[in-house]
């Protein structure tokens, strides 16, 4: 049974034979990066506050300015602010292999106080959920969100996919919208099948 993001990442690697990995927002490599079951030469981490083997001490924006690689698996767990996650996602999509996956962490916050930007609480998810509810407005992708480990959204390319949530997207993406229809917009499932 998959219960956290590291297990999810490794399950995707094993099931789909993924060969390359990018992690945005490493913080401490021992927490996740080192546990991803790929050779160290196949993994790249990006974190401005971490300088370790295979971890580039720069912002994700700076990294994507010069990135010419393509990755099979990209994990986004960097700065937990909706505009930054939007940029990280859109940049990641450009660097994703055709059969690859993007996993975005912390899209299902437990309470509103833990989503306030700037951070005011010890337990903090940021306002990623506001952007995550808009994932349905992107074309040429499919996605599902697993209700594990504060929400792990898995996105993959699917050319020709059109998601039509026009009227819903016009609504304010706030805490009340999240409580009412956030799980529908993010395609949340409690069954973790990859």
pLDDT in tens, 23-77: 999 999 999 999 999 999 999 999 999 978 889 999 999 999 999 999 999 999 9
Question: Residue 125 above 60 pLDDT?
Answer: yes
The size of the chain, in residues, is 194
Residue-level pLDDT at 93:
97
Residue-level pLDDT at 35:
98
Cis peptide before 118 (omega within 30 of 0): yes
Terminus-to-terminus CA distance in the chain, angstroms? Answer: 11
Q: Residue 161: what are its φ and ψ, rounded to 5°?
A: -70, 130
Question: Residue 17 above 90 pLDDT?
Answer: yes
Structural domain spans, the chain: 5-189
Residue-level pLDDT at 1:
82
Q: What CATH number has the domain spanning 5-189? A: 3.40.50.150
Q: Which residue, 132, 148, 112, is CA-closest to 181? A: 132
- How far is C-alpha 8 from the chain's CA centre? 12
Residue-level pLDDT at 137:
87
**For residues 90-99, average pLDDT:** 98
Residue-level pLDDT at 193:
82
pTM of the model as a whole: 0.96
Say which range, 13-22, 31-40, 164-173, has the weakest mean pLDDT: 164-173
Question: Residue 175 above 60 pLDDT?
Answer: yes
- How far is C-alpha 15 from the chain's CA centre? 19
Residue-level pLDDT at 166:
52
DSSP 138: -
Residue 192 pLDDT class (50, 70, 90 cuts): confident
Question: Residue 170 above 60 pLDDT?
Answer: no
Residues 74-92 pLDDT 10s? 999 999 999 999 999 999 9
Return the CA Rg of the chain: 16
Q: Identify the bridge partners of residue 52 per DSSP, sorted by sequence position.
A: 55
- How far is C-alpha 67 from the chain's CA centre? 18
Question: Within a 13 Å sphere around the CA of 109, how many CA atoms are in the beta-carbon half?
Answer: 26
Residue-level pLDDT at 162:
79
């Amino acid at each position: 049974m998959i219960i956290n993001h590291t297990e999810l990442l490794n399950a995707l690697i094993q099931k789909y034979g993924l060969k390359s990995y990018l992690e945005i927002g490493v913080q401490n490599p021992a927490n996740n990066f080192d546990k991803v079951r790929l050779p160290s030469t196949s993994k790249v981490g990006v974190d401005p506050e971490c300088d370790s083997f295979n971890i580039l001490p720069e912002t994700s924006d700076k990294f994507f300015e010069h990135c010419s690689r393509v990755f099979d698996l990209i994990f986004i767990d960097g700065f937990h602010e909706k505009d930054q996650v939007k940029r990280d996602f859109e940049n990641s999509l450009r660097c994703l292999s055709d059969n690859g996956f993007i996993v975005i962490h912390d899209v299902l916050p437990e309470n509103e106080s833990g989503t306030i930007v700037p951070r005011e609480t010890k337990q903090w998810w940021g306002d990623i959920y506001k952007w995550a509810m808009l994932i349905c407005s992107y074309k040429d992708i499919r996605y599902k969100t697993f209700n594990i480990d504060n929400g792990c959204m898995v996105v993959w390319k699917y050319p020709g996919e059109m998601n039509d949530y026009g009227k819903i997207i016009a609504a304010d993406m706030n805490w009340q919208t999240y409580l009412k229809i956030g799980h529908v917009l993010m395609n949340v499932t409690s069954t973790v099948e990859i």
